[in-house]
A and B are shown apart, each in its own frame.
Chain A
Amino acid sequence: MNTLLFRYVPGNSFLHRLDPRVKITGMMIVSISIFMSSSLRQLASVALIFFLLLLVSSISPKIIFDAVRPMLLFLAVILILQFFLMDGEPVFYIMGHDATYEGLRHGVLLTLRFLFLLMFASLLTATTTPSLVTVGMERMLRPLPLRKLGISSFDLATMVFLSLHFVPFLYGSFSHLRDAQISRGLDMRRNPFGAVYSLSVPMVRIAITSAEEVAVAMESRCYQGGHRSSLHAPVLQKKDLAALLAFSILVLALV
């Protein structure tokens, strides 16, 4: 099965070649600024930055859209709840609930924040191979005194890598399962309860069994979290640092 959800898309753009640490730091800066932004004007700047990066990355917008699409329903629910449950100036009534202007504004801001976070995250995973994300993360965590907490930066990085790995995998299993149940006559619109039941029960089983299988496979190949060498050894170059600096200034200036 071909899923485009948070998947690496091969390429050779500037963004692809950038050091993963720079991209992760950039992602953190952007996330913080997204959550600090409280006006539509600021989010418009975030959008501008996103489209600039998208242009540089030469990733097709369709890939970003595909990553966001499964979340759209969830975001719509957030928007509607905000619309009706915030106090403020009423716009109209439905079933004894006020739809307020403040609610709409707040809801739009909240959904846009989630949307942009997802879009930046999918841009990061689309331009960086999962193993490079892991290495970048591991290098960045290494100076922290994690060992005193009984965990190493390698453990953490492996956990992140596995989570990234599981997103497309679980999505693939889900599509496979959905195909099987639809073939057995499941009508998701007419029978939503049956849909949830017949999809979630097997999905939970698949998630647990495959996590266990991965754990067994890793252990049987002598996985140890202690210290692992890596296939990639990213070296920070001047252009990486320059890119990070330029990006930070851009974000600070605009947002």
Chain B
Amino acid sequence: MSIEVKDVTFRYAPGTPLETTALEGISLSINKGEFVLISGAIGSGKSTLIRHLNGLLRPSSGQVTVDGIAAHGKKVKAKVGVLFQFPHQQLFGRTVFEDVAFGPGNFGLRNPELEKHVHDALEMLGLSQGICPISPFSLSGGQKRLVAIAGVLASRPDYIVLDEPLSGLDVGHKKSLLSALQLLSSKGTSVVVVSHQVSDLLSVAQRVFLLDRGSLVFSGTPAEYVRHSPPSMPEINFLMKELRSRGFDVRDDAFGIDDAFSEITRVLGLKGAVEE
């Protein structure tokens, strides 16, 4: 049970002067229940890659299979839920409920299960049930994004792919989204987050892929990723590297403020602070 991407190359506008190779010989696999981060600079092919994972684009060469099935066709769209960038733009329903129920309804779910799926998805993201009869257009930007994410979660896909899901969310919403995703992955749903900003995600991801100009240049654990000194390294890890180079024996693969804080206090022998 996995998504297998085998030697995929993709070109836009083949045979014209505007032809561009967006992906070049990409091979990777995403296993069941895994939390994967796909990172890379803007224009490195991240968005093109995820359009292959549920068959919106067909590779120019190579192949993508989901649980052994070729990735185009409606069956795969029910297995792989994708949330694109600017998700607030996809809302159209008269009520939040109608909008969130659009996906699962299309995949053949009917009441009362439909209602349960919608309520569960909203609850998972910390949205109250009172939001259901409201028009999605009257919500704030951050809430619109969460409703759009709920619209993907409500279909209960086996794989969920999110393109820049954290942009436009405040700290509180970021935390609740990340813990919802972690919960999903611990229950067996694969989570793929695509982002060029990795600092919030390294502490939750199990594996990291780095794309550069259409090629896969790195794949490994978050700790290996940080040692690899990628161009988009979180500030914390710059700090840890700098401390190491000045003779402090801190781990250079600590992510997140809490982790780094306990490392520094450990090295400085400030025991009291660690216990906090």
Contacts and interface: CB of A to CB of B under 8 A. Distances in A.
Contacts of A184: 81, 90, 102-103, 106, 151-152, 155
Interface string A1-40: 0101001011100000000000000000000000000000
Given A198-B102, A201-B92, A202-B92, A183 B82 contact: yes
B68 interface: no
A49 B159 CA distance: 53
A9 B105 CA distance: 42
Contacts, number: 82
A9 B13 CA distance: 12
Interface in B1-33: 12-13, 15-18, 20
Contacts of B15: 60, 62
Q: For the side of the interface on A, what is the size category?
A: 20 to 34
Interface of A is mostly: helix
Given A173-B89, A202-B91, A202-B92, A185 B16 contact: no
Interface string A175-212: 01101111111110001001001110110011000000
Interface of B is mostly: mixed
B49 to A, nearest CB: 13
Given A180-B90, A183-B54, A11 B103 contact: no
Nearest to A179: B56
Interface residues of B, number: 34
A183 B77 contact: yes
B200 to A, nearest CB: 23
Contacts of B84: 176, 179-180, 183
Interface of B: 12-13, 15-18, 20, 51, 54, 56, 74, 77-78, 81-87, 89-92, 102-107, 137, 151-152, 155
A4 B56 contact: no
Interface of A: 2, 4, 7, 9-11, 60, 62-63, 173, 176-177, 179-187, 191, 194, 197-199, 201-202, 205-206
A197 B84 CA distance: 19
Given A9-B17, A179-B56, A185 B103 contact: yes
A111 B91 CA distance: 36
A177 B90 contact: yes
A60 B16 contact: yes
Contact of A186 (B17, B78, B91, B106): B106
Given A9-B18, A185-B104, 20 more contacts: A2-B12, A2-B20, A60-B17, A176-B84, A176-B85, A179-B51, A179-B84, A180-B87, A180-B89, A181-B102, A182-B77, A183-B81, A184-B103, A184-B151, A185-B78, A185-B105, A185-B155, A201-B92, A202-B91, A202-B92
Nearest to B92: A201
A185 B89 contact: no
